[in-house]
Amino acid sequence: MDNRPVGMFDSGVGGLSVLKVFRELAPEEDVIYFADTDWFPYGPRPAAEVRKRSFAITHRLLESGAKLIVVACNTASAAAIADLREAFPVPFVGMVPGVKPAALRSRSGRVAILATEGTFDGELYSRVVEDFARGTTVSAVTGVGLAALVERGLAGTPQSGEILQRLLGPEVEAGADTVVLGCTHYHFLAGDIAARFPGVEIIDTSEAVARRAVQ
């Protein structure tokens, strides 16, 4: 048994969605969770800046003995996961927007991806859409302000519902029947989305990433 801890990081509380499932699946594992709140939010920052922070946090986690690092942030995964894997001798598990399951489950053939600017700008997102969404209409919806709202504990409020209505309402009206949560912070808005748009399927990869980390 390797008693070294698992490292996990995000710009704030979003990655706790992954941590919660990971603890349920592997309660015997120690975890060091790094919330980079001084640099929150990552979404609108340049990729180079997010990459620099990801490297700095990885160094810190490795100094603490981490045997595995979970990049529990879609923006950081898009900006840095490939470089992190190349630079450090430990395994990394990153976030990938759930485009594949969304395309498979959508009945209308129209999917809305709710994510940050940084996630949409990354090569990772473009590759996933190209590989798994052929024949599906994919709409990129930038969740401006949503991560900050979650960080302030305002999920489940009228304010969150109004923002989600403004962002996702046009896509649902246009026929989107599936919404992909492309930011770990948005996990905490799943109930708001379900309440506003009954019948819309929500794809959240937090559990899948936690299971991959356990494997």
Distant-in-sequence, close-in-space partners of 162: CB < 8 Å, separation ≥ 6: none
What residues are annotated to the active site?
73, 183
Q: What is the DSSP pairing of strand 110-115 with strand 137-142? A: parallel
**What residues form DSSP beta bridges with 178?**
111, 201
What are the distances in angstroms from CA 41 to CA 80, 204, 209, 214?
Answer: 16, 20, 21, 27
